[in-house]
Amino acid sequence: MSYFLFATGIENSHPTIKGGSVRIDQMEKCGHYARWREDFDLVEDLGLFYLRYGPPLHRTWLGDGRHDWSFSDVTFADLRRRQITPIVDLCHFGVPDWIGNFQNPDFPVLFAAYAKAFARRYPWVQLYTPVNEMFICATFSAAYGWWNEQLRSDTAFVTALKHIVKANVLAMRAIVEVRPDAIFIQSESSEYFHAEGVRAIGPAEIMNARRFLSLDLNYGRRVNSTMYEFLMDGGMTREEYHFFLDNSLKRHCIMGNDYYETNEHLVMDSGETCASGEIFGYNEITRQYHDRYRLPVMHTETNIVEGPTGQEAVRWLRKQWANVLRVRNTGVPIVGFTWYSLTDQVDWDTALREENGRVNPLGLADLDRNLRAVGHAYKKLVADWREVLPMQSVCLDVPVVPPDMHNDPWAKARREGMRVHLKPRRRVDQMDISMDDG
């Protein structure tokens, strides 16, 4: 049976701060290394078949061609045994110390080799997010100066962005060489910038063009003239730009749209920004992204602090689900929904910029692995809707192969049939058939 992709996630982010001397490892802070069996038990108890999950990159990727798969071997074997389909998060906001940071031009090719090694070791894995939230990773690392290289310049941002997106593209190509029917779910932050006043319209327009850069490059879409100048002024070469136009694997992709209360911004007349809170909401912003890329959609992240009554997160869940249904009912093919993450997080109240050890009550369960009110509400929502949506949805049928069917003849035949599509070529959907430059 084809199920709507109800999911949660176990966050494996690990950026560095304080000049690279401190690493913020969410799996460690949330106790996953010691309690992973309990975490997988929770996923099963919630009635979920899909889990955003990946190995801790900094502990697994020890050098070029050197890996420690010990933790991944036991956890992925257990996921397979339980028939939980992972959406594998390979790079989440950080790289190993030996890579340095996202300014390293060797990162894309090296990361692609790592992705291929993972795919070879776990050939039954089909769903991937090679690099999580590429735009946010580049912004927080090289524009805001919060993580990793901790730089603040347009040149540093463009450098980080082109390396991150190239790593994602090359990783996708490496994975499909091993698993030709691989599906890539780009978990990317869905942003919008609202002008506070008339003088803020110009800066807001630039920011609203810049928010698309990671996906434009990833999907081989021509950027507008202002963003082209921005990329060239930031150090991207024409050859680098054309690499993205010529190497898209858009046909293998689902566009993952992450949405939080902090994803909408107010642009002041000075050009500075602050959080605006929810104004448009997930439905409106996701339709903007879908209008641009025309891909199937998945709501890949959301959460909110539980709050003093315990019902604030439940209300947010209901609001997000209503938005998902609204997106679906307007004809956009939406294939999944995710509350992120499974358990509470630590120090996200400062965007991982500080190591305070503060527990943020954002999860379906607390760090003692007890379901929160939103966890109970999500469990009921999944039970109510999971088998209804495939029959009523206008969405495409996502061809997900369950782990235990990896070696079935029909699955092998479909993989072989996909191999004919692996040769890079210019496609009609890369051609700009409109006269404007947007």
pLDDT band at 424 (very low <50, low <70, confident <90, very high): low
Complete edge-to-edge strand list for the sheet that includes strand 192-195:
192-195, 264-267, 273-275
Q: Which tokens is 56 given?
A: 């801790």
Separation CA 402–CA 83 (nearest Å): 7
Residue 114 has pLDDT above 90, yes or no: yes
Has residue 92 been placed in a domain? yes
Has residue 438 been placed in a domain? no
**3-class DSSP assignment, residue 236:** coil
Separation CA 377–CA 384 (nearest Å): 11
Has residue 435 been placed in a domain? no
Has residue 46 been placed in a domain? yes
Using an 8 Å Cβ cutoff, are 164 and 201 in contact?
Answer: no
Has residue 437 been placed in a domain? no
Has residue 259 been placed in a domain? yes
Place of tokens 């891909």: 295
pLDDT band at 33 (very low <50, low <70, confident <90, very high): very high
| Cα 168 from chain centroid (whole Å) | 11
pLDDT band at 436 (very low <50, low <70, confident <90, very high): very low
Q: How many structural domains comprise the chain?
A: 1
Has residue 312 been placed in a domain? yes
Half-sphere exposure of 107 (CA within 13 A, CB side): 26
From the list 84, 117, 75, the residue with the least C-alpha distance to 404 is 84
Using an 8 Å Cβ cutoff, are 4 and 324 in contact?
Answer: no
Has residue 436 been placed in a domain? no
pTM of the predicted structure, to 2 decimals: 0.92
Please spell the DSSP secondary structure of 290-312, one letter per residue. Answer: HHHH---EEEEE------TTS-H
From the list 93, 130, 123, the residue with the least C-alpha distance to 108 is 130
Separation CA 247–CA 169 (nearest Å): 7
Residue 76 has pLDDT above 80, yes or no: yes
Region 338-354: mean pLDDT is: 97
- Of residues 265 and 421, more confidently modeled: 265
CATH code at 207?
Answer: 3.20.20.80
pLDDT of residue 417: 72
pLDDT digits (tens, 9 = 90+) for 51-61: 999 999 999 99
Domain of 125, in residue numbers: 5-430
296 Cβ contact partners less than 8 Å away, ≥ 6 residues apart: 254, 255, 333, 334, 335, 395, 396, 398
